[in-house]
Structure formats: C-alpha cells, structure tokens
Amino acid sequence: MILSLQMIAILLNSLLNDVPAQAEPKLYGNKVQQGGLPSTCSILSYNTSKTLPCTGSIVQVGNQIQVITSSHCKLPDTQLKVQCDGDSSWLNLTESTGGSVHCSGPNAAEKCAAYTFSTPLSPNRVKSLHPIRMMKKSDQTTFFTSGMKSIQPGVVCQADAMNTDENGAITGKLHAKANQITLNNGLLSQKIESPSLTAVIANIVVRFNTPGDPLCASSGATPTQQKILIAKALAPYGELFLSPGDSGGPLYCKRPKDSEWTLVGVTASNDFEQNYYENRWTPIYLDSGSK
C-alpha cells in the first residue's frame, strides 16, 4: 500500500502509547555538555510493559523545585523519573499540586505539566542545576509581538532536547537556534523551509514500500524504530525535536537587557508537508502572583 504524506506525518507525530518496555536508558554522563542548559533534563515514563523518554526543565516556583514538561510525556498508569547533568541515577517525580504553571493559547490538546521531586534536592544540588526562570504572563509582550505573531526585535531564542537512539538510550543533549517564531493554532511554531525537503519526503514514501528497506513494514521495524529512522532522514532540515525523547523540552529566550534565559514554551509536536518542516511549542507562563 502506498503511504501518503499525511499518513507518514501521522506516524511520525502519534504519541508513543504502546512503546515496549526497554532496558533503562544509559546515563548520559558528559554528553550533556554538548550544549544547552544544565536545567534541561531527561524524563522517563515507565511501568513493567512500556517506557517513554522525554525532556523536561528544572524551574523554581516560590520555594518549590519543579520539573516542567509536556503533559503527553506521562503515559497512563506509569511512574515518572528524571535524570539531570551530574546525577548518578534516576530520581522519582511526583505530580505537582502548585497549580501556578499554565499553558497559554487555545489548543487544549497540547498541555504542559509540572512535577516535583519525591525526595527534595539539597540546596547545593539545586544551585548546580541552575533552575531556569519562567516567563510571567505580564512579560509575554516583552518577548513576543501582539498575538505572539513573532518574537520582538532583539530577542534571541533557543531550544533543548534529550535525543535518544533506536534502543531508547540517551545520546546527549542538543540545542539549536529557534528564531522566526510565529503563533499557529495556539502553538508557537518555527517553520523550516527547504526546496529539497520535498525530495527527501518522496524518498521516505518509496522506502516505506520497498521490501528489505529498514523503513518498510516487511522489515520488521517497530513503529517507534520507523519514527526514529524518519527523524534521521529529516534531521538535516529540522535540526531538533525530531526523535522520541525530545517532547517536553524547553524553548527559552533572552531579551537584549537579560543576562539569563527565560523559559517561554515546551515542545509540543512537529509536522511536515510538501516543502517545510515545523517545530511547535506550547507557550508557558507563571501566574502573575508567582515570584
């Protein structure tokens, strides 16, 4: 059966609700130094039958240390654990009841989620992770133009993600510039255009229907492996947020007057059409009364 571009997009973007359980991902160690912020960590949603890797950010809300990620990063009936730069093991997470972190935008399907550490971190550990500050709702207009149609002149944005390989092992932290941001259906978006991307996508369609090719269903590749292989084919065009494990990662920006980065969004989804690839983030902010 010939797969349409839309069907490939659905395959690439579908949530990993039935990911087979795998060996616990390897500790990433010094690979985290490849780029990005120390407050960007790897998250694992797991039980005895399935696992799902994601990315999260360490923030401080009042006196509470929280991990912010995308809501779809926690599979039903699973536990969550996190590992950050310098951790020798995974640490358990508990759902936060703080309620001061919000997603903005009308798209209800893409939500953010906040979790706390089951065992509180020591002050020295918190300091070493350098929690990233979060945008307040009242600050949105200083980062984005009216309606979030684009970022304000002089604002610089970047994004982080914890990439994984075909076996779910963490391969290291990646980061990339994320400019030309616009609001699309309630989600912050970055369109990456490329005239040659059409040919790449057409080749993916051919590979799906070529017996013996790793992307072909007859090869025995699992849906997760297929997604990762598609991600690798698209990697030169998307730069980031192309593989399982990247969801929930931070979009962070800095205004000309700022000395530190501010968390403004979490990775929500991605999509591609005939001639472009698009990264999408859910805008995120703190209540106006939060410190």
Summarize pLDDT for 155-174 with one digit per residue, the tens. Answer: 988 888 876 655 556 666 77
Contact 283, 265 (CB under 8 A): yes
Whole-angstrom distance, CA of residue 266 vs CA of residue 271: 16
Whole-angstrom distance, CA of residue 85 vs CA of residue 128: 9
Mean pLDDT lowest among 106-110, 132-136, 261-265:
106-110
Name the residue type at position 179: N
Q: Which residue has the higher pLDDT, 133 or 289?
A: 133
Mean pLDDT lowest among 91-100, 125-134, 217-226:
217-226
Domain layout of the chain by residue ranges: 5-286
* The CATH number fitting domain 5-286, selected from 3.40.50.2300, 2.40.10.120, 3.40.50.300, 3.40.50.2000: 2.40.10.120
pLDDT on residue 46: 85
Contact 69, 248 (CB under 8 A): yes
Cα distance from N-terminal residue to C-terminal residue, the chain = 56
pLDDT on residue 67: 94
pLDDT tens for each residue of 190-236: 776 666 666 777 777 788 888 888 888 788 777 767 766 776 676 66
pLDDT tens for each residue of 4-17: 444 444 444 443 34
Angle at alpha carbon of residue 128, lines to 26 and 123, rounded to 5°: 115
Confidence of residue 131 (pLDDT cuts 50, 70, 90): very high
